[in-house]
Amino acid sequence: MIRSYPFRAAWGTRRLVHSSVRFGCTRLAPVELQRRAFCRSTRCASEEKSQPFKHQLYESTQQRLKRERAEQERYSAYQTQSQGGRYAAMMFALTFFSTGAYFLGSSKPASLPTSSTSPLYETEPPRHNVSTSNLQAAWADFVDVLGKENVSTEHNDLEMHSGSDWSSYVRKNDEKPFLVLYPSTTEEVSQIMKICHRRLIPVTPYSGGTSLEGHFAPTRGGVCIDFRRMDRILELHKGDLDVVVQPAIGWEELNEKLSDEGLFFPPDPGPGAMIGGMVGTGCSGTNAYRYGTMREWVLSLTVVLADGTTIRTRQRPRKSSAGYDLTRLFIGSEGTLGLVTEATLRLTVKPKSQNVAVASFQTIQDAAACVTRVVEEGVPVAGLEILDDVQMKCINASQTTSRRWKESPTLFFKFAGTPVGVKEQIGLVQKIVSSSAGKSFEFARGDAEMQELWSARKQALWSVMAMRRGPEDHVWTTDVAVPMSQLPEIIDATKQDMTESGLVAGICGHVGDGNFHAIILFNEAEKRAAEAVVHRMVKRAVQLEGTVTGEHGVGLVKRDYLEHELGEKTVDAMRRLKLAFDPLCLLNPDKVVRVEPPTAGEMKKW
């Protein structure tokens, strides 16, 4: 019974408390009644034990009353608050939280693209900083890395690194670098790119300067990196048949040094070409029929990326299935994905015997048909070149060689192997020439005569340049390649087109693998006619399942033809690769693929 008293007392208290609140009694009255009722029910010795409960109940009641009164006051205050005040408070809260949400959103990185390609209409124009103040400040940074003597702002240097007389791209007046840099090591190139990446300065690479399609035109200004001081052989592994070189060593100089070791590097694009540019364009040359292109002779590359990161694409073995083939990715990229600072090249044993033969024909069709016969018979000639009658006339007129030539379409054959093998190849080719309406056949009898016979092929470009009528004349050198079975048709059609144009224009090329060149002389008044001839030549090659360039590369001139050869989506995939390796578009801007839409009238109608 005693244990029930507190329960009843508490229940009674609740009733008293509620009644006091209801009828406006003072706060002390129900508490006093509570105390007296409790004392009467526990008048014995249990009073000492119940004392803590009494205090607890008293405090609980006080807190409850205070809480209820505070809630009523807050509610009353809200009810009496003006409508304008509530609106102002709501707007303040909305502004506060919106600002916070914007800050959090902008502090997060932009979402990554979800598509596999980068269409041109989705790209943003590059944001370079080529202001004079930024470039002048960068000059001081470059001097700290290279020394003042290797940072040039001389007028002649800037002009030389802006274009060339033999390039098919005629540069604009404002396309000139602010300065030229001459690094000597991979680390220096890396430091240069870190500065350019931080300052948003575009970079144009330069090695031999023999490129033909506007590859080193500084379309965005900025700086030019000339690799001329990086011209050394770093390592020669004779037993492994490979060599590690820097980019500014020429293929001719390399072969001279390798000759003493009985070794040979086959790609031979033209006099003056250097390894860096040869890698950049994926070139080939007169030995391509027998030995293949540059892609077959590069084992590994050391590359500096756009942000200054240095990578090595592979080790030195002849084959590897370890991951993506980055070596082949950088070959032919024309300096748009990274800067090659070292190359590990495959070598082969120097042939025991070599020789050269020359055959002339009545027509260019007869010469092309002979080429097809040689290929079909499987004669392993080292090189197979063609020069048409116009080219032979230019060579005679320019007197760039020591002899006078028949001014008719001519095939040049290069043979390599054992003495017995070379002799057998010459005999086989002589029979094919005779059965293909050949007018003459002559082979060299000694090294001096061999050099003399082959000299005409190497002088093709320079002989046309020697025919310029004045300083306003330009030379347009371009190339295409088609399947071998289509070679006679495209050479015949192109030759006819050139004749009808009235231009001084010749054909030459490495016809053994379906690749031939057009060399056209023109002035400003003849420019549209020259453009039309080249355009039709390229279109003809694509329609015959060929390529817009066999070895010269894309550069600026051929980039808008890629979609017709490969398809829009393929070019979009190339653009994604460009933006992945060079998101700021600092490396050789505008080459290979566009990174912003062309201006009105800039693209030719297909």
The single-letter code of the amino acid at 433 is V
296 inside domain: yes
Segments of 347-473 assigned E as strands: 348-349, 353-361, 383-387, 410-417, 438-443
What confidence tens digit (pLDDT) does each residue in 382-421 have?
Answer: 999 999 999 999 999 988 888 889 999 999 999 999 999 9
Boundary residue ending a domain (350, 369, 385): 350
Boundary residue ending a domain (325, 350, 375): 350
For the chain, the domain total comes to: 3
What pLDDT does 4 receive? 42
Residues 316 and 366 in one domain: no
Residues 324 and 452 in one domain: no
85 inside domain: no
What confidence tens digit (pLDDT) does each residue in 321-372 have?
Answer: 999 999 999 999 999 999 999 999 999 999 999 999 999 999 998 998 899 8
Estimate the crossing angle of helix 4-23 against helix 28-41, to 10 degrees: 160
Residues 266 and 384 in one domain: no
Rg (CA), the chain: 41
Residues 299 and 320 in one domain: yes
605 inside domain: no
CA separation, residue 68 to residues 61, 64, 111, 537, 556 (Å): 11, 6, 51, 94, 82
Phi-psi region of 147 (alpha: psi -120 to 50; beta: other; left: phi over 0): left
Residues 346 and 360 in one domain: no
Arithmetic mean of pLDDT over the chain: 86
**Containing H/E element for 311?**
strand 310-312
Q: What is the pTM of this model?
A: 0.79
Residues 251 and 369 in one domain: no
Boundary residue ending a domain (17, 49, 76): 76
Expressed as residue numbers, the domain containing 223 is 126-350
What confidence tens digit (pLDDT) does each residue in 225-276 have?
Answer: 999 999 999 999 999 999 999 999 999 999 999 999 999 999 998 889 999 9
Share of the chain above pLDDT 90, in %: 67
Tokens for 230? 């990086």
What pLDDT does 99 receive? 62
Bridge pairing between strands 179-181 and 223-226: parallel
